Structure 1
Amino acid sequence: MKITARSLTFDVVADGPARGEPVLLLHGFPQHSGEWVRVAPYLHAAGLRTYALDQRGTSPGARPEAVEDYRITECALDVVAVLDELDLSAVHLVGHDWGAICAWHVALRHPERVRTLTAVSVPHPLATAYAYATDPDQQERSAYIKLFREAGKAEEVLLADDARRLRRLFDGSGLDDARVGAYVRPLLVPGALTAALNWYRAMNRRDLEGLGPATMPTTYVWSDGDVAIGPTAARACAEHVAADYRFVPLAGVSHWIPDQAPAEVAAAIVARGRA
Protein backbone atom coordinates (compact mmCIF):
# COMPACT_ATOMS: atom_id res chain seq x y z
CA MET A 1 0.00 0.00 0.00
CA LYS A 2 0.98 3.65 -0.32
CA ILE A 3 0.60 5.92 2.69
CA THR A 4 0.70 9.70 2.35
CA ALA A 5 1.98 11.38 5.49
CA ARG A 6 3.80 14.67 6.11
CA SER A 7 3.46 15.49 2.39
CA LEU A 8 5.44 12.36 1.48
CA THR A 9 4.30 9.02 0.10
CA PHE A 10 5.60 5.88 1.78
CA ASP A 11 5.43 2.32 0.54
CA VAL A 12 4.18 -0.13 3.18
CA VAL A 13 3.82 -3.89 2.89
CA ALA A 14 1.02 -5.15 5.15
CA ASP A 15 0.50 -8.86 5.72
CA GLY A 16 -0.64 -11.40 8.29
CA PRO A 17 -3.86 -11.93 10.23
CA ALA A 18 -6.16 -8.95 9.81
CA ARG A 19 -6.90 -8.81 13.54
CA GLY A 20 -3.43 -9.70 14.73
CA GLU A 21 -1.53 -7.37 17.04
CA PRO A 22 0.38 -4.92 14.84
CA VAL A 23 4.14 -5.08 14.36
CA LEU A 24 5.90 -2.25 12.51
CA LEU A 25 9.16 -3.29 10.84
CA LEU A 26 11.86 -0.71 10.01
CA HIS A 27 14.72 -1.59 7.65
CA GLY A 28 18.31 -0.38 7.59
CA PHE A 29 20.97 0.59 5.03
CA PRO A 30 21.53 -0.44 2.27
CA GLN A 31 18.30 -2.40 2.40
CA HIS A 32 14.56 -1.88 2.13
CA SER A 33 11.42 -3.44 3.57
CA GLY A 34 12.28 -6.65 1.76
CA GLU A 35 14.78 -7.48 4.49
CA TRP A 36 11.85 -8.70 6.59
CA VAL A 37 10.45 -11.25 4.11
CA ARG A 38 12.13 -14.15 5.92
CA VAL A 39 11.07 -12.94 9.37
CA ALA A 40 7.44 -12.02 8.66
CA PRO A 41 6.05 -15.54 8.02
CA TYR A 42 7.09 -16.60 11.53
CA LEU A 43 5.31 -13.57 12.95
CA HIS A 44 2.17 -14.28 10.94
CA ALA A 45 2.17 -17.88 12.19
CA ALA A 46 2.25 -16.49 15.72
CA GLY A 47 -0.86 -14.40 15.01
CA LEU A 48 0.83 -11.05 14.46
CA ARG A 49 0.09 -8.62 11.64
CA THR A 50 3.12 -6.95 10.07
CA TYR A 51 3.66 -3.59 8.44
CA ALA A 52 7.03 -3.25 6.72
CA LEU A 53 7.78 0.40 5.93
CA ASP A 54 10.09 1.70 3.22
CA GLN A 55 11.42 4.70 5.05
CA ARG A 56 12.34 8.23 4.01
CA GLY A 57 14.85 8.07 1.18
CA THR A 58 13.90 4.51 0.26
CA SER A 59 10.29 5.08 -0.76
CA PRO A 60 10.53 6.84 -4.16
CA GLY A 61 7.75 9.21 -3.10
CA ALA A 62 9.59 10.23 0.06
CA ARG A 63 12.92 11.63 -1.11
CA PRO A 64 13.32 15.25 -0.08
CA GLU A 65 16.54 16.84 -1.35
CA ALA A 66 17.98 18.62 1.69
CA VAL A 67 20.34 16.66 3.93
CA GLU A 68 18.73 18.26 6.97
CA ASP A 69 15.47 16.56 6.00
CA TYR A 70 17.05 13.23 6.94
CA ARG A 71 17.67 14.04 10.60
CA ILE A 72 16.70 11.02 12.68
CA THR A 73 14.10 13.10 14.50
CA GLU A 74 12.37 13.68 11.16
CA CYS A 75 12.49 9.97 10.35
CA ALA A 76 10.93 9.18 13.74
CA LEU A 77 8.14 11.65 13.05
CA ASP A 78 7.51 9.83 9.77
CA VAL A 79 6.85 6.64 11.72
CA VAL A 80 4.37 8.39 14.01
CA ALA A 81 2.59 9.94 11.03
CA VAL A 82 2.37 6.61 9.20
CA LEU A 83 0.92 5.00 12.33
CA ASP A 84 -1.68 7.77 12.41
CA GLU A 85 -2.63 7.09 8.79
CA LEU A 86 -2.87 3.36 9.51
CA ASP A 87 -5.04 4.16 12.54
CA LEU A 88 -2.64 2.29 14.83
CA SER A 89 -2.42 3.86 18.26
CA ALA A 90 0.53 1.72 19.36
CA VAL A 91 2.57 -1.15 17.89
CA HIS A 92 5.26 -3.66 18.63
CA LEU A 93 8.15 -1.76 17.05
CA VAL A 94 11.08 -3.58 15.42
CA GLY A 95 14.09 -2.10 13.65
CA HIS A 96 17.41 -3.23 12.21
CA ASP A 97 20.50 -1.07 11.59
CA TRP A 98 19.25 2.48 10.85
CA GLY A 99 15.77 1.10 11.38
CA ALA A 100 16.83 0.23 14.93
CA ILE A 101 18.15 3.75 15.49
CA CYS A 102 14.86 5.16 14.23
CA ALA A 103 12.94 2.72 16.42
CA TRP A 104 14.89 3.85 19.49
CA HIS A 105 14.05 7.48 18.74
CA VAL A 106 10.36 6.67 18.27
CA ALA A 107 10.32 4.71 21.52
CA LEU A 108 12.18 7.38 23.48
CA ARG A 109 10.47 10.46 22.04
CA HIS A 110 6.99 9.02 21.44
CA PRO A 111 6.71 6.19 24.00
CA GLU A 112 2.92 6.16 23.92
CA ARG A 113 3.08 4.72 20.37
CA VAL A 114 5.26 1.73 21.29
CA ARG A 115 3.96 -1.35 23.12
CA THR A 116 7.28 -3.17 22.97
CA LEU A 117 10.61 -2.49 21.30
CA THR A 118 12.90 -4.98 19.57
CA ALA A 119 16.13 -3.42 18.33
CA VAL A 120 18.32 -5.54 16.06
CA SER A 121 22.08 -4.89 15.71
CA VAL A 122 22.14 -1.29 17.00
CA PRO A 123 21.72 -0.56 20.74
CA HIS A 124 20.37 2.53 22.50
CA PRO A 125 21.95 5.63 20.90
CA LEU A 126 23.65 6.62 24.15
CA ALA A 127 25.23 3.17 24.39
CA THR A 128 26.65 3.58 20.89
CA ALA A 129 27.87 7.10 21.70
CA TYR A 130 29.58 5.84 24.86
CA ALA A 131 31.35 3.06 22.99
CA TYR A 132 32.47 5.40 20.23
CA ALA A 133 33.90 7.85 22.79
CA THR A 134 35.73 5.28 24.90
CA ASP A 135 36.48 2.17 22.85
CA PRO A 136 39.14 2.13 20.08
CA ASP A 137 37.58 -1.06 18.72
CA GLN A 138 34.24 0.67 18.20
CA GLN A 139 35.97 3.68 16.67
CA GLU A 140 37.59 1.36 14.12
CA ARG A 141 34.28 -0.39 13.41
CA SER A 142 32.61 2.99 12.78
CA ALA A 143 35.35 4.35 10.50
CA TYR A 144 33.28 3.63 7.37
CA ILE A 145 30.85 6.37 8.38
CA LYS A 146 33.41 9.03 7.41
CA LEU A 147 33.24 7.91 3.78
CA PHE A 148 29.45 7.63 3.80
CA ARG A 149 29.18 11.26 4.95
CA GLU A 150 31.23 12.55 2.01
CA ALA A 151 28.73 13.69 -0.60
CA GLY A 152 29.67 12.63 -4.10
CA LYS A 153 32.74 10.65 -3.10
CA ALA A 154 30.74 7.96 -1.32
CA GLU A 155 28.43 7.51 -4.30
CA GLU A 156 31.40 7.28 -6.66
CA VAL A 157 33.17 4.68 -4.52
CA LEU A 158 30.12 2.56 -3.80
CA LEU A 159 28.77 2.54 -7.35
CA ALA A 160 32.06 2.00 -9.20
CA ASP A 161 32.63 -1.27 -11.05
CA ASP A 162 28.97 -2.32 -11.09
CA ALA A 163 28.48 -1.27 -7.44
CA ARG A 164 31.17 -3.71 -6.28
CA ARG A 165 31.79 -1.95 -2.95
CA LEU A 166 28.08 -1.68 -2.28
CA ARG A 167 27.65 -5.40 -2.89
CA ARG A 168 30.64 -6.18 -0.69
CA LEU A 169 28.86 -4.68 2.31
CA PHE A 170 26.99 -7.98 2.44
CA ASP A 171 30.14 -10.09 2.71
CA GLY A 172 29.74 -12.65 5.47
CA SER A 173 25.96 -12.59 5.26
CA GLY A 174 25.63 -15.86 3.39
CA LEU A 175 23.26 -14.16 0.94
CA ASP A 176 23.41 -15.30 -2.67
CA ASP A 177 23.94 -12.92 -5.58
CA ALA A 178 20.23 -12.73 -6.35
CA ARG A 179 19.37 -11.61 -2.84
CA VAL A 180 22.18 -9.05 -2.72
CA GLY A 181 21.10 -7.79 -6.13
CA ALA A 182 17.55 -7.29 -4.86
CA TYR A 183 18.95 -4.85 -2.29
CA VAL A 184 21.42 -3.13 -4.59
CA ARG A 185 19.29 -2.58 -7.72
CA PRO A 186 16.90 0.01 -6.21
CA LEU A 187 19.94 2.06 -5.13
CA LEU A 188 21.13 2.30 -8.74
CA VAL A 189 18.20 4.56 -9.60
CA PRO A 190 19.51 8.14 -9.88
CA GLY A 191 19.26 9.89 -6.53
CA ALA A 192 18.35 6.79 -4.54
CA LEU A 193 21.78 6.11 -3.03
CA THR A 194 22.26 9.76 -2.15
CA ALA A 195 18.90 9.81 -0.36
CA ALA A 196 19.85 6.69 1.60
CA LEU A 197 23.27 8.07 2.52
CA ASN A 198 21.71 11.32 3.69
CA TRP A 199 20.76 9.51 6.92
CA TYR A 200 24.49 9.41 7.67
CA ARG A 201 25.10 12.97 6.46
CA ALA A 202 22.33 14.36 8.64
CA MET A 203 23.82 12.82 11.81
CA ASN A 204 24.34 15.43 14.53
CA ARG A 205 25.19 15.28 18.23
CA ARG A 206 22.01 17.26 18.83
CA ASP A 207 20.17 14.06 17.98
CA LEU A 208 21.13 12.72 21.41
CA GLU A 209 19.61 15.64 23.31
CA GLY A 210 16.67 14.69 25.50
CA LEU A 211 17.14 10.95 25.13
CA GLY A 212 16.51 8.99 28.30
CA PRO A 213 16.02 5.33 29.05
CA ALA A 214 13.46 3.20 27.25
CA THR A 215 10.38 2.74 29.42
CA MET A 216 8.67 -0.08 27.54
CA PRO A 217 9.60 -3.79 27.49
CA THR A 218 12.70 -3.94 25.30
CA THR A 219 14.74 -6.63 23.58
CA TYR A 220 18.12 -6.04 22.00
CA VAL A 221 19.39 -8.62 19.48
CA TRP A 222 23.12 -8.49 18.71
CA SER A 223 25.44 -10.78 16.77
CA ASP A 224 29.08 -11.39 17.65
CA GLY A 225 29.99 -11.33 13.95
CA ASP A 226 28.74 -7.76 13.49
CA VAL A 227 31.46 -5.67 11.90
CA ALA A 228 29.72 -2.38 12.78
CA ILE A 229 28.73 -2.80 16.44
CA GLY A 230 31.14 -4.25 18.98
CA PRO A 231 30.64 -5.75 22.42
CA THR A 232 31.21 -2.51 24.35
CA ALA A 233 28.17 -0.87 22.78
CA ALA A 234 26.15 -4.08 23.02
CA ARG A 235 26.82 -4.53 26.75
CA ALA A 236 26.12 -0.86 27.49
CA CYS A 237 22.58 -1.06 26.12
CA ALA A 238 21.15 -2.51 29.34
CA GLU A 239 22.04 0.66 31.23
CA HIS A 240 19.57 2.62 29.11
CA VAL A 241 16.41 0.57 29.59
CA ALA A 242 14.21 1.27 32.63
CA ALA A 243 11.83 -1.62 31.98
CA ASP A 244 11.94 -5.35 31.43
CA TYR A 245 15.03 -5.92 29.27
CA ARG A 246 16.26 -8.91 27.30
CA PHE A 247 19.62 -9.21 25.59
CA VAL A 248 19.73 -11.82 22.82
CA PRO A 249 23.30 -12.43 21.57
CA LEU A 250 23.67 -14.60 18.47
CA ALA A 251 26.91 -16.46 17.87
CA GLY A 252 28.42 -16.77 14.41
CA VAL A 253 25.97 -14.36 12.76
CA SER A 254 26.93 -11.26 10.75
CA HIS A 255 25.42 -7.79 10.86
CA TRP A 256 22.65 -8.93 8.50
CA ILE A 257 20.69 -10.68 11.23
CA PRO A 258 17.14 -10.65 9.76
CA ASP A 259 18.44 -12.29 6.57
CA GLN A 260 20.80 -14.72 8.26
CA ALA A 261 18.84 -15.66 11.39
CA PRO A 262 15.15 -14.91 10.67
CA ALA A 263 13.77 -17.56 13.01
CA GLU A 264 15.80 -16.24 15.92
CA VAL A 265 14.74 -12.65 15.23
CA ALA A 266 11.10 -13.68 14.99
CA ALA A 267 11.34 -15.68 18.21
CA ALA A 268 12.71 -12.64 20.03
CA ILE A 269 9.86 -10.47 18.73
CA VAL A 270 7.18 -12.99 19.59
CA ALA A 271 8.62 -13.65 23.05
CA ARG A 272 8.76 -9.93 23.77
CA GLY A 273 5.18 -9.43 22.66
CA ARG A 274 3.95 -12.26 24.89
CA ALA A 275 5.93 -11.30 27.98
Structure 2
Amino acid sequence: MFSPTLVPVNGVKLEVFEAGRQNAGKPVVLCHGWPEHAFSWRHQVPALVEAGYHVIVPNQRGYGNSSRPAEVTDYDIEHLSGDLVALLDHYGYEKATFVGHDWGATVVWGLTLLHPDRVDKVINLSVPYPDRGEKPWVEFIEDLLGTDFYYVHFNRHPGVADAVLEENPARFLRNMFRKNVPAAEPEPGVALLNLARAQTPPGEPILSDGELAVYVSAFETSGFTGGINWYRNADRNWHLLADVDPVVRQPALMIYAERDVVPRAERLTDFVPNVDVVSLDCGHWIQQEKPEETNQAILTWLGRHTAD
Protein backbone atom coordinates (compact mmCIF):
# COMPACT_ATOMS: atom_id res chain seq x y z
CA MET A 1 0.00 0.00 0.00
CA PHE A 2 0.91 3.68 0.03
CA SER A 3 3.05 5.36 2.69
CA PRO A 4 1.34 6.14 6.00
CA THR A 5 1.49 9.20 8.20
CA LEU A 6 1.16 9.42 11.98
CA VAL A 7 -1.85 11.55 12.81
CA PRO A 8 -2.38 12.89 16.36
CA VAL A 9 -5.97 12.26 17.46
CA ASN A 10 -7.79 12.00 20.78
CA GLY A 11 -4.60 11.79 22.85
CA VAL A 12 -2.93 9.11 20.70
CA LYS A 13 -1.30 8.84 17.28
CA LEU A 14 -2.78 6.73 14.53
CA GLU A 15 -0.86 5.34 11.60
CA VAL A 16 -3.07 6.40 8.69
CA PHE A 17 -2.94 5.37 5.04
CA GLU A 18 -4.64 7.82 2.70
CA ALA A 19 -5.43 7.80 -1.01
CA GLY A 20 -7.58 9.85 -3.37
CA ARG A 21 -6.99 13.25 -1.83
CA GLN A 22 -7.98 14.66 -5.22
CA ASN A 23 -11.49 13.41 -4.38
CA ALA A 24 -11.78 15.63 -1.30
CA GLY A 25 -15.37 15.97 -0.19
CA LYS A 26 -16.29 12.29 -0.55
CA PRO A 27 -14.57 10.61 2.42
CA VAL A 28 -14.71 6.89 3.11
CA VAL A 29 -13.05 5.58 6.28
CA LEU A 30 -12.11 1.88 6.31
CA CYS A 31 -11.91 0.22 9.75
CA HIS A 32 -10.11 -3.12 10.13
CA GLY A 33 -10.86 -5.94 12.54
CA TRP A 34 -8.84 -8.45 14.60
CA PRO A 35 -6.18 -9.67 14.05
CA GLU A 36 -6.00 -7.39 11.04
CA HIS A 37 -4.41 -4.17 9.87
CA ALA A 38 -5.11 -1.31 7.46
CA PHE A 39 -3.48 -3.62 4.89
CA SER A 40 -6.62 -5.77 4.94
CA TRP A 41 -8.31 -3.11 2.76
CA ARG A 42 -5.61 -3.11 0.07
CA HIS A 43 -8.01 -4.43 -2.58
CA GLN A 44 -10.71 -1.85 -1.83
CA VAL A 45 -8.59 1.31 -1.77
CA PRO A 46 -7.82 1.62 -5.52
CA ALA A 47 -11.39 0.74 -6.50
CA LEU A 48 -12.83 3.39 -4.18
CA VAL A 49 -10.34 6.02 -5.36
CA GLU A 50 -11.14 5.28 -8.99
CA ALA A 51 -14.84 5.67 -8.16
CA GLY A 52 -14.16 9.16 -6.81
CA TYR A 53 -13.74 8.72 -3.08
CA HIS A 54 -11.18 10.09 -0.63
CA VAL A 55 -10.11 6.94 1.22
CA ILE A 56 -8.77 7.08 4.78
CA VAL A 57 -7.51 3.84 6.34
CA PRO A 58 -6.26 4.00 9.94
CA ASN A 59 -4.46 1.38 11.91
CA GLN A 60 -6.63 1.82 14.96
CA ARG A 61 -5.16 2.11 18.45
CA GLY A 62 -3.26 -1.01 19.43
CA TYR A 63 -2.33 -1.92 15.85
CA GLY A 64 0.65 -1.40 13.56
CA ASN A 65 2.61 1.72 14.43
CA SER A 66 -0.36 3.42 16.08
CA SER A 67 -0.26 4.18 19.80
CA ARG A 68 -0.71 1.28 22.20
CA PRO A 69 -1.95 2.66 25.54
CA ALA A 70 -1.24 0.51 28.59
CA GLU A 71 -4.65 0.76 30.28
CA VAL A 72 -7.25 -1.77 29.19
CA THR A 73 -10.04 0.79 29.48
CA ASP A 74 -8.28 2.99 26.92
CA TYR A 75 -9.67 0.59 24.30
CA ASP A 76 -13.37 0.99 25.07
CA ILE A 77 -15.93 2.16 22.50
CA GLU A 78 -15.74 5.77 23.66
CA HIS A 79 -11.99 5.88 22.97
CA LEU A 80 -12.18 3.94 19.70
CA SER A 81 -15.05 5.99 18.32
CA GLY A 82 -13.43 9.16 19.64
CA ASP A 83 -10.34 8.37 17.56
CA LEU A 84 -12.45 8.20 14.41
CA VAL A 85 -14.28 11.44 15.19
CA ALA A 86 -10.94 13.17 15.75
CA LEU A 87 -9.70 11.70 12.47
CA LEU A 88 -12.60 13.38 10.68
CA ASP A 89 -11.70 16.63 12.41
CA HIS A 90 -8.10 16.27 11.26
CA TYR A 91 -9.17 15.98 7.62
CA GLY A 92 -11.80 18.71 7.96
CA TYR A 93 -14.87 16.55 7.46
CA GLU A 94 -18.17 16.87 9.30
CA LYS A 95 -19.13 13.30 8.43
CA ALA A 96 -18.05 10.34 6.32
CA THR A 97 -19.10 6.91 5.13
CA PHE A 98 -17.60 4.34 7.50
CA VAL A 99 -16.83 0.79 6.44
CA GLY A 100 -15.95 -1.84 9.05
CA HIS A 101 -15.02 -5.50 9.08
CA ASP A 102 -15.09 -7.80 12.11
CA TRP A 103 -14.24 -5.69 15.20
CA GLY A 104 -14.04 -2.70 12.88
CA ALA A 105 -17.75 -3.26 12.18
CA THR A 106 -18.49 -3.32 15.91
CA VAL A 107 -16.64 -0.01 16.30
CA VAL A 108 -18.56 1.52 13.38
CA TRP A 109 -21.88 0.44 14.89
CA GLY A 110 -20.84 1.97 18.22
CA LEU A 111 -19.55 5.14 16.55
CA THR A 112 -22.88 5.56 14.78
CA LEU A 113 -24.77 5.28 18.07
CA LEU A 114 -22.47 7.61 20.02
CA HIS A 115 -21.81 10.18 17.26
CA PRO A 116 -24.68 9.86 14.76
CA ASP A 117 -24.06 13.35 13.38
CA ARG A 118 -20.57 12.30 12.17
CA VAL A 119 -21.70 9.26 10.18
CA ASP A 120 -23.18 9.65 6.69
CA LYS A 121 -23.55 6.00 5.70
CA VAL A 122 -22.60 2.65 7.24
CA ILE A 123 -21.17 -0.39 5.46
CA ASN A 124 -20.26 -3.33 7.67
CA LEU A 125 -18.86 -6.73 6.85
CA SER A 126 -19.27 -9.99 8.78
CA VAL A 127 -20.35 -8.63 12.18
CA PRO A 128 -23.94 -7.37 12.30
CA TYR A 129 -25.41 -4.84 14.69
CA PRO A 130 -24.92 -6.15 18.25
CA ASP A 131 -28.30 -6.29 19.95
CA ARG A 132 -27.54 -5.12 23.50
CA GLY A 133 -29.85 -7.60 25.23
CA GLU A 134 -30.39 -7.95 28.97
CA LYS A 135 -27.00 -9.40 29.94
CA PRO A 136 -23.52 -7.90 29.44
CA TRP A 137 -22.03 -9.37 26.29
CA VAL A 138 -19.27 -11.52 27.82
CA GLU A 139 -21.69 -13.04 30.31
CA PHE A 140 -24.17 -13.70 27.50
CA ILE A 141 -21.51 -15.36 25.32
CA GLU A 142 -20.23 -17.42 28.26
CA ASP A 143 -23.73 -18.74 28.93
CA LEU A 144 -24.15 -19.56 25.24
CA LEU A 145 -20.73 -20.92 24.25
CA GLY A 146 -18.90 -21.71 27.49
CA THR A 147 -15.74 -20.58 29.27
CA ASP A 148 -13.37 -21.94 26.63
CA PHE A 149 -14.75 -19.73 23.88
CA TYR A 150 -11.94 -17.30 22.97
CA TYR A 151 -14.04 -14.17 23.56
CA VAL A 152 -14.70 -15.29 27.14
CA HIS A 153 -11.15 -16.56 27.69
CA PHE A 154 -9.67 -13.19 26.67
CA ASN A 155 -11.69 -11.58 29.47
CA ARG A 156 -11.41 -14.22 32.17
CA HIS A 157 -7.66 -14.91 31.79
CA PRO A 158 -5.85 -11.63 31.09
CA GLY A 159 -2.48 -12.02 29.40
CA VAL A 160 -2.69 -15.75 28.70
CA ALA A 161 -3.82 -15.58 25.07
CA ASP A 162 -1.52 -12.64 24.39
CA ALA A 163 1.49 -14.73 25.37
CA VAL A 164 0.40 -17.76 23.34
CA LEU A 165 -0.12 -15.73 20.17
CA GLU A 166 3.20 -13.96 20.61
CA GLU A 167 5.08 -17.28 20.87
CA ASN A 168 4.99 -17.48 17.09
CA PRO A 169 3.04 -14.68 15.33
CA ALA A 170 3.87 -16.06 11.88
CA ARG A 171 2.40 -19.45 12.67
CA PHE A 172 -0.73 -18.01 14.28
CA LEU A 173 -1.45 -15.60 11.42
CA ARG A 174 -0.70 -18.26 8.80
CA ASN A 175 -3.18 -20.56 10.51
CA MET A 176 -5.78 -17.82 10.97
CA PHE A 177 -6.10 -16.41 7.47
CA ARG A 178 -7.52 -19.48 5.72
CA LYS A 179 -10.48 -20.34 3.55
CA ASN A 180 -12.42 -23.53 2.83
CA VAL A 181 -11.63 -24.75 6.32
CA PRO A 182 -13.20 -28.19 6.83
CA ALA A 183 -15.43 -28.85 9.81
CA ALA A 184 -13.52 -30.40 12.69
CA GLU A 185 -14.48 -32.27 15.81
CA PRO A 186 -14.40 -30.11 18.97
CA GLU A 187 -11.24 -30.60 21.01
CA PRO A 188 -10.40 -29.74 24.61
CA GLY A 189 -9.20 -26.25 25.43
CA VAL A 190 -9.54 -22.91 23.68
CA ALA A 191 -9.90 -23.58 19.95
CA LEU A 192 -8.21 -20.31 18.96
CA LEU A 193 -5.13 -21.07 21.05
CA ASN A 194 -5.03 -24.61 19.71
CA LEU A 195 -5.10 -23.11 16.22
CA ALA A 196 -2.25 -20.74 17.12
CA ARG A 197 -0.06 -23.72 18.03
CA ALA A 198 -1.12 -26.06 15.20
CA GLN A 199 1.78 -27.20 13.04
CA THR A 200 -0.43 -27.88 10.02
CA PRO A 201 -2.89 -25.14 9.06
CA PRO A 202 -6.42 -26.06 8.00
CA GLY A 203 -7.98 -25.19 4.66
CA GLU A 204 -6.30 -23.01 2.05
CA PRO A 205 -4.32 -19.78 2.46
CA ILE A 206 -5.98 -16.46 1.71
CA LEU A 207 -2.73 -14.49 1.77
CA SER A 208 0.34 -14.81 -0.42
CA ASP A 209 3.66 -15.19 1.37
CA GLY A 210 4.36 -11.51 0.79
CA GLU A 211 0.97 -10.43 2.13
CA LEU A 212 1.36 -12.66 5.19
CA ALA A 213 4.77 -11.08 5.81
CA VAL A 214 3.13 -7.65 6.13
CA TYR A 215 0.88 -8.91 8.92
CA VAL A 216 3.67 -10.80 10.65
CA SER A 217 5.97 -7.78 10.65
CA ALA A 218 3.19 -5.58 12.03
CA PHE A 219 2.28 -7.91 14.90
CA GLU A 220 5.90 -8.66 15.74
CA THR A 221 6.15 -4.91 16.32
CA SER A 222 2.84 -4.27 18.07
CA GLY A 223 2.15 -7.54 19.83
CA PHE A 224 -1.44 -8.71 20.27
CA THR A 225 -2.44 -7.17 23.60
CA GLY A 226 -3.76 -3.90 22.19
CA GLY A 227 -6.15 -5.65 19.83
CA ILE A 228 -7.22 -8.19 22.45
CA ASN A 229 -7.98 -5.30 24.81
CA TRP A 230 -10.84 -4.38 22.51
CA TYR A 231 -12.48 -7.66 23.59
CA ARG A 232 -11.72 -6.89 27.22
CA ASN A 233 -13.98 -3.85 27.01
CA ALA A 234 -17.04 -5.69 25.71
CA ASP A 235 -18.93 -5.51 29.01
CA ARG A 236 -17.76 -1.95 29.62
CA ASN A 237 -19.11 -1.05 26.18
CA TRP A 238 -22.42 -2.71 27.05
CA HIS A 239 -22.73 -0.33 29.99
CA LEU A 240 -21.49 2.71 28.04
CA LEU A 241 -24.19 2.20 25.41
CA ALA A 242 -27.00 1.79 27.94
CA ASP A 243 -28.52 5.24 27.52
CA VAL A 244 -28.02 5.98 23.82
CA ASP A 245 -30.68 5.69 21.13
CA PRO A 246 -30.11 2.12 19.91
CA VAL A 247 -31.43 2.70 16.38
CA VAL A 248 -29.04 3.32 13.48
CA ARG A 249 -30.98 5.65 11.19
CA GLN A 250 -28.38 6.13 8.45
CA PRO A 251 -28.50 4.15 5.20
CA ALA A 252 -26.60 0.93 5.85
CA LEU A 253 -25.23 -2.03 3.94
CA MET A 254 -24.58 -5.32 5.74
CA ILE A 255 -22.35 -7.80 3.90
CA TYR A 256 -22.49 -11.33 5.26
CA ALA A 257 -20.29 -14.29 4.37
CA GLU A 258 -22.21 -17.48 3.78
CA ARG A 259 -19.45 -19.64 5.30
CA ASP A 260 -18.75 -17.39 8.26
CA VAL A 261 -18.99 -18.68 11.81
CA VAL A 262 -20.35 -15.29 12.93
CA PRO A 263 -24.14 -15.62 13.19
CA ARG A 264 -26.49 -13.29 11.38
CA ALA A 265 -28.61 -10.84 13.35
CA GLU A 266 -32.19 -12.05 13.64
CA ARG A 267 -33.46 -8.55 14.48
CA LEU A 268 -31.20 -6.47 12.24
CA THR A 269 -34.00 -4.36 10.75
CA ASP A 270 -35.38 -3.57 14.22
CA PHE A 271 -32.21 -1.62 14.95
CA VAL A 272 -31.04 -0.74 11.44
CA PRO A 273 -34.27 -0.03 9.55
CA ASN A 274 -32.58 1.42 6.44
CA VAL A 275 -30.34 -1.58 5.81
CA ASP A 276 -29.67 -3.54 2.64
CA VAL A 277 -28.18 -7.01 2.96
CA VAL A 278 -25.74 -8.78 0.62
CA SER A 279 -24.34 -12.30 1.07
CA LEU A 280 -21.10 -13.49 -0.52
CA ASP A 281 -20.01 -17.11 -0.87
CA CYS A 282 -16.89 -17.02 1.29
CA GLY A 283 -15.57 -17.25 4.82
CA HIS A 284 -14.95 -14.62 7.48
CA TRP A 285 -12.19 -12.64 5.72
CA ILE A 286 -14.64 -11.25 3.19
CA GLN A 287 -12.80 -8.33 1.59
CA GLN A 288 -9.59 -10.33 1.22
CA GLU A 289 -11.16 -13.61 0.11
CA LYS A 290 -13.60 -12.06 -2.38
CA PRO A 291 -12.13 -8.64 -3.21
CA GLU A 292 -13.82 -8.06 -6.58
CA GLU A 293 -17.24 -9.13 -5.30
CA THR A 294 -16.79 -7.00 -2.19
CA ASN A 295 -15.84 -3.97 -4.27
CA GLN A 296 -18.82 -4.47 -6.56
CA ALA A 297 -21.22 -4.74 -3.61
CA ILE A 298 -19.84 -1.62 -1.94
CA LEU A 299 -19.63 0.53 -5.08
CA THR A 300 -23.05 -0.52 -6.39
CA TRP A 301 -24.65 0.31 -3.08
CA LEU A 302 -22.80 3.64 -2.74
CA GLY A 303 -23.83 4.50 -6.28
CA ARG A 304 -27.49 4.03 -5.38
CA HIS A 305 -27.15 6.22 -2.29
CA THR A 306 -25.03 9.11 -3.56
CA ALA A 307 -27.96 11.49 -3.32
CA ASP A 308 -28.94 10.42 0.22
Unaligned runs of 5+ in 1: none
The answer to whether the 8 A contact 2:138-2:234 is kept is no
The verdict on how the C-alpha distance between 1:221 and 1:25 changes in structure 2, with shifts beyond 3 A counting, is: same
Q: What per-residue deviation string (whole Å, max 9, x for no partner) do you get for residues 164-214 of structure 1? A: 23432212262233322322321122x531112111112213144125111
Map residues 66-145 of structure 1 onto 2, 5 A cutoff.
Answer: 66-126=71-131, 139=145, 143-145=149-151
Residue from 256, 260, 263 that aligns with 2:285? 256
State TM-score, norm by structure 1: 0.87
- 2:189 paired residue number: none
2:204 is the alignment partner of 1:186: no
Q: 2: distance between equivalents of 1:168 and 1:201? A: 23
- 2:50 paired residue number: 45
C-alpha deviation, 1:161, in angstroms? 4.4
Aligned alpha-carbon RMSD (Å): 2.7
2:152 is the alignment partner of 1:146: yes
C-alpha deviation, 1:135, in angstroms? 9.4
Identity %: 30
The verdict on how the C-alpha distance between 1:249 and 1:52 changes in structure 2, with shifts beyond 3 A counting, is: same
C-alpha deviation, 1:238, in angstroms? 2.3
C-alpha deviation, 1:2, in angstroms? 2.1
The answer to whether the 8 A contact 2:61-2:68 is kept is yes
Q: What per-residue deviation string (whole Å, max 9, x for no partner) do you get for residues 215-257 of structure 1? A: 1000001101112x123x3x43222113x31001112x11101
Q: 2: distance between equivalents of 1:89 and 1:259? A: 30
Unaligned runs of 5+ in 2: 180-204
Count residues with an aligned counterpart. Answer: 268
- 1:245 paired residue number: 275
Find the residue that maps to 2:249 and give its secondary structure.
coil
C-alpha deviation, 1:152, in angstroms? 2.1
Q: 2: distance between equivalents of 1:256 and 1:183? A: 14
- 2:19 paired residue number: 15
State TM-score, norm by structure 2: 0.78
Residue from 273, 296, 299 that aligns with 1:267? 296
The answer to whether the 8 A contact 1:127-1:236 is kept is no
The answer to whether the 8 A contact 1:26-1:55 is kept is yes
Give the letter aligned to residue 188 of structure 1: E
Q: 2: distance between equivalents of 1:129 and 1:261? A: 36
C-alpha deviation, 1:139, in angstroms? 3.4
- 1:202 paired residue number: 233
Q: Which of 1 and 2 has greater Rg?
A: 2
Give the letter aligned to residue 289 of structure 2: Q
Residue from 263, 267, 272 that aligns with 1:230? 263
Find the residue that maps to 2:35 and give its secondary structure.
coil
- 1:33 paired residue number: 38
Q: 1: distance between equivalents of 2:134 and 2:50? A: 37
The verdict on how the C-alpha distance between 1:60 and 1:124 changes in structure 2, with shifts beyond 3 A counting, is: same
Find the residue that maps to 1:254 and give its secondary structure.
coil
Q: 2: distance between equivalents of 1:13 and 1:165? A: 25
Q: 11-20 vs 78-87, which deviates more? A: 11-20
The answer to whether the 8 A contact 1:92-1:115 is kept is yes
- 2:246 paired residue number: 212
The answer to whether the 8 A contact 1:42-1:263 is kept is no
Q: 2: distance between equivalents of 1:3 and 1:129? A: 38
